[in-house]
Chains A and B, each alone.
Chain A
Amino acid sequence: MTTKRTCLTALAVAAVSAAFAFGAPAQAQDTIKIGWAISKTGPFAAGAAVTTLPNYQVWVKDVNDAGGINVGGKKMKVEVIEYDDRSNSEEMIKAVERLATQDKVDFILPPWSTGMNLAAAPIFNKLGYPHLAVTANTNQSPQLSKRWPNMTFWLGLPSQLVDGIVETFSKMQKDGKIGNKIAMIAVADQFGIEQSTAAREGLKKAGFELVYDKSYPFGSQDMQPVLKDAQAANPDVLIAFSYPPDTFAITDTMKVLAFNPKAVYLGVGTAFPGYKGKFQANAEGVMGVGGSDANLPGIKAYIAHHKEIIGREPDRWASPITYASLQVLQQAIERVGKIDRAAVINEINTGSFDTIIGKVKLEGGQNVNVWTVGQWQGNDFFGIAPTAKAGAKAPIDKPKW
């Protein structure tokens, strides 16, 4: 009984002291402290584990292998402090506060998902940290960057992604590759709804007919009913604004149903290396959000490097952009030459940077120069829209499943 009590007392004391007594010792700084709070457990963990966390790890390793970040002539290595936000907004806010006020980190990397980044925005802003909201994707982003000037967006506006879709299919229609009948399905979550709303408008304006247009709930375990009805509408194109598990299930089900529209665009997940890994030759010709110019030397090296460190290739949409955003951060710090967060924010917003995805120059806090539509061609997921972007490939015909 006594030992039990002692144990509990010790536990309580430890908990309290950990929570309250973490004073950061003042010492001459020779490392740069970078912290992040990200979903390592809970429903967001899967997304964070694909797009965000591996890139943080790869970048930290790259920087430290190169001797550190050059701050005013002194090479400072990166020291990492990380917390698990348990896929919970409140936990994330608390962890960010902890990083800033307890651990006194120099920079904070953002959490994963639109909702988490929006929840983090006021606190990043209040604390004066640059907020590289890479995985936030919303049409509100220009206004949000005005409201919180430290907040930058990197994936392009949802409407911009939709413009790419409309551009691609209009071109294909003009070339006589497809007719004008489109079936569209969307996951009933912010991403799916914003995208499908914008696409509905854009596609109609471009003269397409939506022969099937439905949303399905997040977490559906059977895509067959939706796809059967979509198939019955006999579309030329299937567009799905889906989340990764659904993207995989949709592909699988379409194969089983021998549902072969002339073009297929599937939402998040198509650009995952696992997609190609699972479907092999069947991935050929499938379009999706994102893409990269795999011929850029930076991208090639990045992919190889990522595979070496993490054990698998990165996804081809947000991963390279996440890594590029970290390069921007690093270059901004080096240009400012000291740990001056306000100056770094200013530099990120105004400077022009060389990254693995090419030259990056933010406009109003937005990185607009992005691939909006990609397609599996051979072993890589190439950007095909916007067509004006350097390195854009022409779309290929999708073979039958």
Chain B
Amino acid sequence: MTLTLDILLSGLVLGGMYALIAMGLTLQYGIARIMNLSYGEFLVAAAFGALFLFTGMAVNPILGLLLIVPASFAANWLLYRVVLTPLVKRAKNQGMLEVDSILGTFGVLFVIQGIMQVVFGGALQSYSYLSVPVRILGTTLAANRILALVFALVIGGLLYLLLTRTRYGTALRAIAVNPVAAQLSGIDIAAASGLAFAAGGAIVGAGGVLISMFLTFSAASGVIFTMKALIVVIMGGVGNMMGALVAGLLLGIAETAVARLVDPGLTIAVTYALFLGALLWRPTGLFGRPAR
């Protein structure tokens, strides 16, 4: 019983991190319809930002969020307006946009990675913040990881409410479902998509800052996070905020359970097995709309 509870809590905390990483991408891909391969680079850039503020200027990362989140929002908005808008305008259909955005953001990935390499060097980076034990129901957890979970839940909940309960959210969802029809009904697609993309950027910025408190990272780590985020997003169902949250938590619990009960060597394998299994069971993700 204690073991079950332990696994559940530790798994939730790990899953909270996955969900946090994934939620920005689900906005960017689900609503702005951009398959952003440079997503993880923004996360690592935010982590470097937090590191620099903390070690260089003694600004604690929580305060750092106030600076880094708006910066990441702005950077992503610019990326969308400058680099991606021409591609969106040019694309005749979703397939073309997908190919173009994969190629384009793959380029952006290298640019950002290269800049970080030049500025910060290639070495691994890490610092300690809020690495203190918190006891919940007899289970010891790290405060910084719990913070990531809390953020994931808050952001997920807020976005869910925003998307389902407000007029603007309805407009955004309309874009996700059918951009052409949404345009006909008077929604300014370009502005709304840009905003959704930038909002995704803000979330990934927050994710980067929070994760930098407990994970070691280097300029080359971005791809790992992009892939993890993609897996969570796809497993949850593209554009579905709750889906990303649930899928992330599920993966966290599954990984922890396998590590404790079966073999820690299989934790990453089980992530992929679960992901592949979920897609075979529901080809458009756990919470995705059924394909027509």
* Contact between A and B in the complex (any CB pair below 8 Å): yes
CB pair A249–B264 under 8 Å, yes or no, is: no
Given contacts A45-B122, A50-B124, whether A252 and B265 have CB atoms under 8 Å apart is no
Q: How far is the CB of B252 from chain A (nearest CB, A)?
A: 8
Residues A255 and B131 in contact, CB atoms below 8 Å apart? yes
Query: Is the CB–CB distance between A228 and B6 below 8 Å?
Result: yes
A-contact bits for B241-272, CB 8 A (1 contact / 0 none)? 00000000000000110011001111111000
Q: What distance in Å separates the Cβ of B105 from its nearest Cβ neighbour in chain A? A: 17
Q: Is the CB of A216 within 8 A of B123?
A: no
A245 near B260: Cβ-Cβ < 8 Å: no
Given A226-B259, A228-B6, A245–B216 Cβ distance below 8 Å? Answer: yes
Tell me if A14 counts as interface (CB < 8 A to partner B).
no
Closest residue on chain B to residue A216 by CB atoms: B264
A46:B124 contact, CB within 8 angstroms: yes
Query: Is B17 a contact of A221 with CB atoms below 8 Å?
Result: yes
Chain B positions within 8 Å of A252 at CB level = 128, 131, 142, 214
Docked Cα-Cα span, A53 to B260, in Å, equals 39
Binds A, one of B82-90, B218-226, B232-240: B218-226
User: Chain B: interface residue count, which band?
Assistant: 35 or more
Q: Is A168 an interface residue (CB 8 A)?
A: no
Contacts of A245 in B (CB 8 A): 124, 126, 215-217
Asked if residues B265 and A188 are in contact (CB atoms below 8 Å), the reply is yes
Interface residues on A, range: 35 or more
Interface membership of B101, Cβ < 8 A: no
Q: Main secondary structure on chain A at its contact with chain B? A: helix
> Is B182's beta carbon under 8 Å from chain A?
no
Q: Is the CB of A220 within 8 A of B132?
A: no
Asked if B113 CB lies within 8 Å of chain A CBs, one says: yes
Instruction: Say yes or no: B117 contacts A225, CB within 8 Å.
Output: no
Asked whether, in the complex, the Cβ of B259 is within 8 Å of the Cβ of A225, the reply is: yes
Q: Does B224 contact A40, Cβ atoms closer than 8 Å? A: no
Known: A45-B220, A215-B264. A50 touches B215 (CB 8 A): no
0/1 per residue, B121-138, Cβ < 8 Å to A? 111111110011100000
- What are 21 A-B contacts defined by CB distance under 8 Å? A40-B122, A41-B114, A45-B219, A50-B123, A50-B124, A87-B220, A214-B264, A217-B269, A220-B268, A221-B14, A222-B14, A225-B10, A225-B255, A225-B267, A226-B259, A229-B260, A245-B216, A249-B215, A256-B131, A256-B132, A256-B141
Q: A216-B267, A225-B260 are in contact. List 16 more A-B contacts (CB 8 A).
A: A40-B122, A42-B220, A45-B122, A49-B122, A216-B265, A220-B264, A222-B255, A224-B142, A225-B264, A225-B267, A244-B216, A245-B124, A245-B216, A255-B133, A274-B124, A274-B125
